[in-house]
Amino acid sequence: MTRDNILIVGGYGEVGRKIAKILLSSYPNRVCIAGRNLEKAKQFCAQHKDLATPLQMDVSKTVHSQQLANVGLVIMCLEQPNTAFAQLCLKEGIMYIDITASHSFLKQLENLHFTAIEHNSTAIFSVGMAPGLTNLMAMHAAKQLTSIERLHISILLGAGDTHGTAAILWILQQLNIPYHNYENQVITNFTNKRSVQFKDIGKRSVYQFNFSDQHTLAKHFPSIPIITRLGFDVESLNWFVSFLQKSRIAYLLKFNRIQSILASLIQKIKMGSDVCSIQIEAIGKMPHKDATVTLDFKGRDESLVTAKIAAAIARELLENEHPSGTYHIEELFTCETLQNQFDASSFSQSITP
């Protein structure tokens, strides 16, 4: 059986359709748009001259191997209840990319490493802006130092960006889910403010947040503090979310109905811009002196940034040989892998004593 097709699950969603559009330029008639709503999949394909194929698929239910006939690569753009679908892909020898940001789910996917090896398949996780680009930038910055003592990862999202509903819901849900940091202390999301000067944007407040990159990178730097923080380009929104957390009003967001209402409201309110930014501060030593390596990224449309990264990794898997197993993005790739996806002006680096 020839497995040439690329299956994008959630392919008509905010990120999925942008991944599909990028890949269609290189792989026309090889992209399948999958999701529960067949009509939305058909609409997307019609809008792109039927160069993609619509497919109805619900990964929250049992998917059979026959539905993956001719599929060589799956790009997963949805949150999943379990790893059953990923396991099926790997057992079928299908390459797999997942853009989820959930650390608990990524840990489950990591456990499929030997399944992937047994069936000669490759899975890449932490593919997106955060986690993903944050992982690669942190590794790049850390390598400039002879020894590293601390890593700060600061993520800025544009309040006026067209974030997908799933992304907004995920952020809202995290407000009521504490996590453990590098010292095994319990951290409440959107607390412990820090002010960061973002490239061409200015100073903004960012708060500790449970992005998976800080946990994944701890495998490479097990003895140092790695802290990821999140903020928005509109400072009043940072204040408001912080107020929700401190006042415990965020407790109401445990209710799905309230989450959905607030997510819809956020999407309708036009405030801020579509800017997105990352700043990495790697603090440590260079020969005979202390040093801080600061690496900045500035872009627009966070979902498009994620789509570009996912499409680049898809091309890497399709065009080049890679070892079998399950890997986070920084375990097989570097910032240079993505150098053709963004303008050179998107990145800047400085080193200070």
The verdict on residue 333 lying in a domain is no
* pLDDT, tens only, 105-156: 999 999 999 999 999 999 999 999 999 999 999 999 999 999 999 999 999 9
Beta bridge partners of 285: 147, 290
Q: Looking at residue 73, which CATH number applies to its domain?
A: 3.40.50.720
Whether residues 148 and 114 fall in one domain:
no
Contact 55, 34 (CB under 8 A): yes
Whether residues 208 and 225 fall in one domain:
yes
Whether residues 72 and 148 fall in one domain:
no
Average pLDDT over residues 59-84: 94
Confidence of residue 40 (pLDDT cuts 50, 70, 90): very high
Domain range for residue 276?
129-301
Whether residues 202 and 279 fall in one domain:
yes
The verdict on residue 32 lying in a domain is yes
Confidence of residue 166 (pLDDT cuts 50, 70, 90): low
- Share of residues in the chain with pLDDT > 90 (%): 76
The verdict on residue 346 lying in a domain is no
The verdict on residue 67 lying in a domain is yes
The verdict on residue 311 lying in a domain is no
The verdict on residue 246 lying in a domain is yes
The verdict on residue 138 lying in a domain is yes
Of 99, 125, 151, which one is at a domain's C-terminal end? 125
Whether residues 137 and 35 fall in one domain:
no
What total number of domains does the chain contain?
A: 2
Helix (H) or strand (E) holding 263: helix 256-268
The verdict on residue 306 lying in a domain is no
Alpha helix segments (H runs only) across 68-185 = 84-91, 103-110, 113-118, 134-142, 165-174
Whether residues 102 and 39 fall in one domain:
yes
- Judged against a pLDDT cut of 70, whether residue 267 lies above it is answered with no
Nearest to 152 by CA among 234, 209, 106: 209
Average pLDDT over residues 54-69: 94
